[in-house]
Structure 1
Amino acid sequence: MARNRPGSGQVRIIAGQWRSRRLPIQDLEGLRPTTDRVRETLFNWLSGELSGARVLDCFGGSGALAMEALSRYAAYARVFELQKSAVVQLQNNLKTLKCEHADVVAGDSLHLLAQGPKGQAARQDPASGEGFDIIFIDPPFRKGLAENSIKALAAHNWLKPDALIYVETESELQALPIPADWHQLKEKTAGQVCYRLYRFEPESTEE
C-alpha cells in the first residue's frame, strides 16, 4: 500500500504476463500504492522466488504487490483488505485480468492472521490451510500494524520454511519485533519509506 497522491487513480503492473497493464484503484484514506521504484527493487530481490509461489498480502490496498507477484507467475495469492470498496475494486481487477488463482478476504488483517491459515476457507486456493512462501506486510503507517502483524505471522503458522517476508514501514520506525528465526536479507530507505526483506529459517527439530 502507501499514501495515495492527489489525482492518482491507477496502478501499473511493471513486468510479467500483464506487463504495463494499468488498473483502477480506490482513492481512500491511508491507501498508498507502493511506488514503481520500490516495487521494482522489491521484485528484483524476489527474482527466482516467485514462479509457483504461494503469496499472502496482509494489507491489500491497491493490490499492487499481489498482482505484480501474480503477473510474475506466482501460483496463488491471498489478499486481506479491510475497506469494502477496496475489496470490490480488487475483485474487479482480478476479473479484468482473468485471474482465477487469487482470493480477496474482507476483514481486519490482525483478526484474520490470528485465525491461522487453517481457519479460513479460500475458494481458489489449491492448498488451503497450508503456509505461504512469500508474505507482504505493507500496512497504513503509524498505527502499530507492522509490529502486530509480525507477531501474528510468527505465532500462527503462516510461514513455510524458507519463506520470504517483505516489510514496508515509515522510515522513522527503527525497532521491529523480528523473531530470532527471521534473518534479514535486504534493507533500503526511499524518502519516508523503509523496506526490508527477511527469510524464515526455523531451527531443525531433527535430532
Structure 2
Amino acid sequence: MKPRRSGAPRQVRIIGGQWKRTPLPVLEAEGLRPTPDRVRETVFNWLEHLFDHAWDEVRCLDLFAGSGALGFEAASRGAARVLMVESLPAAAQQLQATCDKLRAGQVEVRRGDAVANAEMLARSAQTFDLIFLDPPYHRDMLQRMLPVCARLLAPDGLLYVEAETALDAEPKKEWLQDWRIVRTDRAGMVFYHLFMHQPSA
C-alpha cells in the first residue's frame, strides 16, 4: 500500500472531458496517494497530443487505482475501456460507487492484488493501449511490474509510471533496458514518466 502524502486532499477533481470538475473522494485510509491535479493535467496534455485526441479506441489499465483519478480522467475523455485494480476494500467500494454515480459503463473495478491481476490478464493475452502504474514507494514494485506490463501493452502502447526517484538516469537500471522514456517531469517529490516498450534485438 502507498503511504498517504502529508496534507493530501480529501478529494480531487476530474480535469477534462465529459465529467470535468467532478469531485472524486479520497478516503482517509493508509495506502491512498492521489496523483496531484497539476501532475494529471501535465500527463493528460501529453496523452492528448500523443493520442491525437482520439480516445475512442484507447483501452486503459489502472493498476493500484486508489482514488481512481487517473482512470476516471481517461474515461472522462472518452477511453473505450478502463479497468481499475485496487486491493484496499474500502477504496474499491468507493471506486464502484463513483462508477455507478457517473454511469460509467466503460469502467470496470476489480478488487484484488495488482501483481496477481496483471499476471492473470497477461496469461489471458489481454492488451491495453495505456497502463497507469503508481505502485507503493520503496518496495521495489517497479522491478516486478514492468516485465508484466511489457506483456500487457499493445504495440505502440504507453506506460505511465510514478516513482519516488527519477527513472531517466544513466546508466539505465537493468529492468529498464527495454523501455524508452517518451516524456518525464517532476512535481515536488513526485517523479512521473511516460514509457514505450522497445525490446532490444
TM-score, structure 1 as length reference: 0.84
Instruction: Describe the superposition over 1:116-149 as per-residue Cα deviations: whole angstroms up to 9, x where unpaired.
Output: 3454xxxxxxxxx530000011112111122211
| Counterpart residue number, 2:162 | 168
2: CA distance between counterparts of 1:18 and 1:2? 28
Q: Corresponding residue for 2:4?
A: 3
Q: 2:55 aligns with which of 51, 56, 79?
A: 51
Tell me what 2:197 maps to.
Answer: 200
Q: Secondary structure at the match of 1:160?
A: strand
Unaligned runs of 5+ in 1: 120-128
Indicate the residue corresponding to 2:79 in structure 1.
74
* 1:177 to partner: Cα distance: 1.7
Helix, strand or coil for the counterpart of 1:31? coil
Question: Over aligned residues, Cα RMSD in angstroms?
Answer: 2.2
1:130 aligned residue: 126
Is structure 2 residue 106 aligned with structure 1 residue 101?
yes
Counterpart residue identity of residue 162, structure 2: E
Distance apart, 1:193 and its partner CA: 1.1
Report if aligned partners of 2:17, 2:76 keep a CA contact under 8 Å in 1. yes
Match of 2:187 in 1: 190
Worse-matched range after superposition: 142-151 or 1-10: 1-10
Report the CA distance between 1:166 and its aligned residue. Answer: 0.5
The answer to whether the 8 A contact 1:4-1:30 is kept is no
Give the deviation of 1:186 after TM superposition.
0.8
Which structure dedicates a bigger proportion of its chain to helix?
A: 2
Paired residues, number: 192
Aligned residue among 112, 116, 140 for 2:121: 116
CA–CA separation in structure 2 for the residues paired with 1:95 and 1:8: 23
Question: Residue 142 of structure 1: SS of its match in structure 2?
Answer: coil
Unaligned stretches of 5+ in structure 2? none
2:35 alignment partner AA: T
**Residues 1:176 and 1:34: Cα distance change in structure 2 (over 3 Å):** farther
* Counterpart pick for 1:88 among 72, 87, 93: 93
CA contact (8 A) 1:54 1:133 kept: yes
Which 4+ runs in 1 deviate beyond 6 A?
A: none
What's the secondary structure of 2:33's corresponding residue? coil
Q: 1:203 to 1:162 in 2, by over 3 A?
A: farther
SS in 1 for 2:48: coil
Pick closer, same or farther for the CA change 1:113–1:17 going to 2, 3 Å: same
Cα gap change, 1:85 to 1:160, in 2 (>3 Å): same
State the percentage of identical aligned residues: 39
- Candidates 145, 158, 163, aligned match of 2:141: 145
| Counterpart position of 1:126 | none
Letter in 1 for 2:139: K
Query: Matched residues in 1 for 2:194 and 2:16: separation?
Result: 20
Q: Which residue of 1 aligns with 2:176?
A: 178
